A and B are shown apart, each in its own frame.
Chain A
Amino acid sequence: DVELVESGGALVQPGGSLRLSCIASGFTFSNYNMNWVRQAPGKGLQWVSYISSAGTVHYADSVRGRFTISRDNTEDSLYLQMNSLRAEDTAIYYCARGVNKNYAGWHFDYWGQGTLVPVSS
């Protein structure tokens, strides 16, 4: 079965940094595009970042220049390095599988359980 497990969420002060991890299992990780999606407390979903199977990256305007997405296909792992954190970055961060590299599409078919990142002094 496909499984995505996030970790790394913690309380961080404004201006601080944090690195989130997502370990994938149950599928050939290197064949899939991957994403981070976040949800502020009581709010809706917001797409944060994307990395293709080959390493092409994209970011939401609100995090571009502060967040860096990366992946390690040898470790079946996805990462999100978050710098210069702000109170408005407070959210549950979900790792979400995108489409297969051989498929043109945009959707998230498997999600992790999420990891909470509170940004507060």
Chain B
Amino acid sequence: QSALTQPASVSGSPGQSITISCTGTSSDIGAYKFVSWYQQHPGKAPKLMIFDVSNRPSGVSYRFSGSKSGNTASLTISGLQAEDEADYYCSSHTSTSTLGIFGGGTKLTVL
């Protein structure tokens, strides 16, 4: 199964807001509320930022928010900070033989 589709890169200036999209199909994002987002800094393990489409784990900044419409999920980061510069991955449960799937990743650059 192909990966979920994310833009390769996005950028924004400090204080601005950016949105990263994640497009799947009716077998994954469109079928379940189980979309999650991960932040990964170079050389580090991924960190869960959003789960079940729009829920933030304890300790994750309110500046991170998630949503979903049809087969597309989105991660919005408001009030961009230099520390937000990282790779971001979406993930979804899927009804296919492959239980779960990730997006290809989006590199966020804070200008």
* Any B CB within 8 A of the CB of A26: no
Number of interface residues of A (CB under 8 A): 22
Contact A105 B51 (CB under 8 A): yes
- Complex interface: chain B residues within 8 A of A109 (CB): 48, 51, 57
* Any A CB within 8 A of the CB of B23: no
* Any B CB within 8 A of the CB of A94: yes
Nearest CB in chain B: distance from A47 CB, A = 4
Chain A 56-98, CB-CB to B under 8 Å as 1, else 0, gives 0010110010000000000000000000000000000010000
- Identify 14 new A-B residue pairs, CB closer than 8 A, beyond the known A61-B97, A107-B48, A107-B91: A35-B100, A37-B46, A37-B102, A45-B38, A45-B46, A47-B101, A50-B99, A58-B98, A60-B98, A106-B91, A106-B92, A107-B36, A108-B46, A109-B48
Sample 11 A-B pairs with CB under 8 A, ordered by A number.
A45-B46, A45-B102, A46-B102, A47-B102, A61-B1, A105-B34, A106-B32, A106-B34, A107-B34, A108-B38, A108-B48
